[in-house]
Every structure is written in C-alpha cells, then in structure tokens.
Structure 1
Amino acid sequence: MRPRAAWPAGALLPIAVVAFLTACDSSVDRLRITTCRRTLPALVAADLSPRLLHVGRGSAPDSVRVDYALGQRQHRIDCLFDGGAGLIGIRMDHKAVSGGALFMLKKYYLETLDSEANDPAPAR
C-alpha cells in the first residue's frame, strides 16, 4: 500500500478560517434580521394591523430592511448596526428615529421577552 501524502501543517488553516468567518457572518446576519424584524410591533400600532412583506439586507453596509404594509400602502424600516449585531440606528420610511426613542426601544422592548413573543416572523 502506498502511503498518503501528508498535508503541509498550515494548508488547512486558511480553509478553516474562511469557514469560521462565513459561519460568524451568517449568525450575525440572522441576529440582525431578527432584531430588525422584532422592531415592527413596537414601532407600528397593532390596531393598524401591519403585515410583514419582506426582511433582508439593506442597501447600506451593516443594515437590514423590513418591508411591511398598512392596508394597501407599503412602508419600510431600515435598521443600522455596528460591525456586529448591535443596533445603532433606525429609519422609518427614510426618517430617523431619535436616539432617545432608540434607547427606549432597545432597553424596554427588544431586551425583553415581549419582543420574542410578538415577533412577526411567519410560523415555521
């Protein structure tokens, strides 16, 4: 039997690093999408019956866009994130949410179980 050629010690390291970074990226993306989607019930009154249309990457780097409808009119929420999954800004229909309102949203809604319970994500 012929012996197998050994891989050089560092040959697999770049592959492992790329795999790790890809996995981190997708988990950060999932956290960003979840966070932004969960802002919808807090930012739009429930009696208006907002209907989630689409959630995905935004046009700016480190952003997520949530498209929703109120009746026949379409609206959007753009969430801006730091390099990770930290929410640092929100725009509703291109108008910025104030820093104080963002702080209150994060502290008293997104960091509570209510945001998970009211998540408008479609049931799986």
Structure 2
Amino acid sequence: MRRALAPVAAALPAACALALLGACAIDLDPERARVCRRVLPTLVEPGGSLRVLRAGPGESPRSVRVDYTEERPGRPPRTRRAECRFSEMSRTDLSGVVSDGVPVGGASLYLLKRYYLDTPDAVVAEPGAG
C-alpha cells in the first residue's frame, strides 16, 4: 500500500506549488489592467480595431500583460501583446510600455501619460476586459 501511494505523495508538493502559482496569476490589479487597456488603442494603426483576449501579470515586477487581436481592413487579424510597467511611486503610475517586445519611446510615453490616459477620449476608446 505504501509503495502505491509513494508517487502520489511525491507529486503533492509540486501540485501545491502549481496551485499557488495559479493563484498568483489570478491576482491582477484591476486599476493597472484598466490603465494598460487604455494604452492599447494608441498601439493600433489608424483604421484598425482591437479585441482584448486576456490580461494577466507581466514578466517584470509591477507589470500587466495584455494579449489582444488587431484587425485592419484587407488584412488577416494579428495577435499582439503589450506589457505595461508601473513605478513604485503609485499603483497606477505608468513607467513603461513594451509593445510586441519593442519599448515605447520616452517622448511617446510622456505624451501618452500627460495628454491621453486620463481624458474622456481614453475612457471611450478603452476596450473591454476580454
């Protein structure tokens, strides 16, 4: 009987670790996710539309990753990703954006934060949570 339960007992710590990792992935700050969704329309070419597929923690600390589909007339849909990074200053202080592995430049990030994210236009253009 002990030999039959040995593989189960050996796998138990790994299963618990995976469950804890899964719980961490679910813990997504809704305000950070909202800010990141508001960034997305600025990453899509004019005339294009987008649909959020999923959002979760990013690769960097204090970051959110959003996977989305971009659709443009006459072209097949394209799956893209954006990672929004946040500073230690405040929960929602955007410190960087990486779009499909390419960082958004400093001037563009400044203009995005200063003149777009908190405007009514950004609220209206924000895509759904997916």
Verify same fold: TM over 0.5.
yes
Cα root mean square deviation, aligned: 2.0
Kindly indicate whether the alpha-carbon contact (under 8 Å) linking 1:42 and 1:109 is maintained by their aligned counterparts in 2.
no
Unmatched tracts of structure 2, length 5 or more: 1-26, 71-75
Give the Cα–Cα distance (whole angstroms) in 1 for the partners of residues 56 and 122 of structure 2: 19
Q: TM-score, normalised by structure 1?
A: 0.70
- Paired position in structure 2 for 1:50: 50
Identity of aligned residues (%): 40
AA matched with 1:107: R
Specify which of 72, 77, 83 is matched with residue 82 of structure 2.
Answer: 77
- Paired position in structure 1 for 2:59: 59
AA matched with 1:115: A
Kindly indicate whether the alpha-carbon contact (under 8 Å) linking 2:41 and 2:126 is maintained by their aligned counterparts in 1.
yes
Unmatched tracts of structure 1, length 5 or more: 1-25
- Paired position in structure 1 for 2:102: 95
- Paired position in structure 2 for 1:16: none
Could you say what secondary structure the match of 1:59 adopts? coil
Considering Cα pairs closer than 8 Å and 6+ residues apart, tell me whether 1 or 2 has the greater RCO.
Answer: 2
Runs of 4+ in 1 over 2 A off after TM superposition: 70-73
Q: TM-score, normalised by structure 2?
A: 0.67
Equivalenced residues, count: 97
Equivalences for residues 1-124 of structure 1 within 5 A: 29-70=29-70, 71-83=76-88, 84-121=91-128
